[in-house]
Amino acid sequence: MTDKYIVLDRDGVINEDLWGYVTTPSEFKFIKGSLEGIKKLTESGFKITIATNQACISKKIITDSELALVHNYMINKIENSGGKIEYIAYCPHAPEESCKCRKPEVGLLKKTEEDLGINLQGAFFIGDKESDMGCAVNFGCRPILLKTGYGQISLESESLPEVEGVFDDLLNAVEYIVKK
């Protein structure tokens, strides 16, 4: 059996997007249903990876080690709820740096593939931003847009790529995915 991988954005999908940056574990607030959705994915045999833009590093708002504290908090809460995160890839660059890893570029997905020795082509990619959907389409993933976070704003964009589905939150998207 081939492992089933899925890619999740972080802010606006798993946790509430602060319209700024989550810089400490105490600022990390799970969106209602996200822990249950991740548990359901894990129980359904999916291996969960995260691809997240974190320009707060380049902007010197937090350090890589401070971001690691936030991620460790998230991972521990997820594991205590019955879910599992296999891997987190993050882009530390600001948009003006024109890197190859900031979504909608596909560098985070390439790094995930290389580090894990896997293929993400055809995997579901769940996000709330137009950049998430662009990354998914550009890499050959199956884009799923959530209405949480920036989702409503993304839905109004004329340049939003075609997506496979639009859901109220992560749990609703997971219920669709596990039936596929």
9 catalytic, yes or no? yes
**Strand, helix or coil at 146?**
strand
Indicate which residue of 11, 17, 128, 132 is catalytic: 11
* Tokens, residue 123: 């995997």
User: How many Å separate Cα 48 from the centre of its chain?
Assistant: 9
Contact 149, 11 (CB under 8 A): yes
Indicate which residue of 3, 9, 64, 115 is catalytic: 9
Which amino acid, one-letter code, is at 128? D
Residue 45, CA distances (Å) to 1, 145, 167, 173 in order: 11, 21, 21, 16
| Cα atoms in the Cβ-side hemisphere of radius 13 Å centred on 129 | 16
Which residue numbers are catalytic? 9, 11
